[in-house]
Every structure is written in C-alpha cells, then in structure tokens.
Amino acid sequence: MDGSVEWTQGGDAVAVVVQERQGRTASGTVYLKVLDKAARTKRAGVALAICWGLALGSLPILFFHFFLVPPFGVLGPVMFLVRMKQERFVLGAQVDCPVCEERTQLGKQADGWPLLASCGGCGIRLTIQPPRTDDRGPVDWRLYAAP
C-alpha cells in the first residue's frame, strides 16, 4: 500500500503514533475527512430524510406503527443535530504494529481519539493517537499533517 488507495481520496493525511500496552510505538497515517458547513448540512438532511422516511413507511403497518413511528420521528432531528456537530470523521488508516511490524488498515469510523485497533498480524491491541493533543479545545488537524 502506498497511501494512494481509494478511500484516502479527499481526506487529510494525519501522522499518528501507534502504541501497544507495553509502550512500544510505531507510526501510522490516519485519513481524516473534514466537513464544511454545506457538507454537514447535506449529511444531516439525508439522515433526517431517512429517519422520517422510515417513520412514514411504518405508518401503514398495523400495531407496529405505535412502536416505530415515534422513535423514528424523534430519531430524525436527533440524528440531524448529531451530524451537524460532526465536523470530521476518519476515512481510514494505515498503521504499523510496534511488535510484529505488520501493517493494519482501519475502515471508516467516527473520529474519537484515541482510535483503537487490533493488529492483523499478531492480534495485539493498538492505541492510535495524534502525536500531540490539545485539551483546551478543538484540535487543529493541520498541525498533524503527514509529510
């Protein structure tokens, strides 16, 4: 893998530190997708439409509509707000195992740090974090841009 695989397209490459339980470290790259307001609104609108679509679709189902319509009706706006707040997510990652040096790929996921993974080679648990963290506020991911 040379970093040009399809899921890295449109993402920002971020250099990360991979750590295992005993403190050994290796390097990796996480591809982040940063969403601007227009992209967030679109994703949020899609989530709302799906939830309300499911609520409407549940209406004709006798009996079950009592259980299905209210949750989907409420879930729509909740999902809308959640997605509006989601400013970025992880497209994928490539990390090297500090123990066996096997390269492991991670799929698309929410960007909650540290990311957790299991090595595809030896199965050891890996903790993936940016090289520096800033507890005082949102992280400026450009600081971590991989060369």
In the complex with Zn ion, which residue's Cβ is closer, 13 or 97? 97
Kind of pairing, strands 115-118 and 103-106?
unpaired
Report the residue from 50, 121, 127, 139 that binds Zn ion according to the rule CB under 5 A: 121
Report the residue from 119, 128, 130, 144 that binds Zn ion according to the rule CB under 5 A: 119
Residue 36 token pair: 């601007």
Q: Could you tell me the smallest distance in angstroms from the CB atom of residue 123 to Zn ion?
A: 7
Compose the 53-72 pattern: x for residues touching Zn ion by CB under 5 A, - for all others. --------------------
Binding to Zn ion by residue 118, rule CB under 5 A?
Answer: no
Binding to Zn ion by residue 122, rule CB under 5 A?
Answer: yes
Binding to Zn ion by residue 105, rule CB under 5 A?
Answer: no
Binding to Zn ion by residue 99, rule CB under 5 A?
Answer: yes
Closest by CA position to 145, among listed 33, 15, 16, 17: 15
Identify the DSSP state of 45: H
State the burial class of residue 14 (Cβ atoms within 10 Å of its Cβ: 0-12, 13-18, 19+). buried
CA distance 47 to 72: 11
> Which stretch, 59-67, 87-95, 113-121, 139-147, contacts Zn ion (CB under 5 A)?
113-121
Q: Could you tell me the smallest distance in angstroms from the CB atom of residue 113 to Zn ion?
A: 21
Closest by CA position to 95, among listed 52, 124, 65: 124
Residue in this structure with the two tokens 């295992």, named with its chain if needed:
20
Which spans of this chain sit near Zn ion (rule: CB under 5 A)? 97, 99-100, 102, 119, 121-122
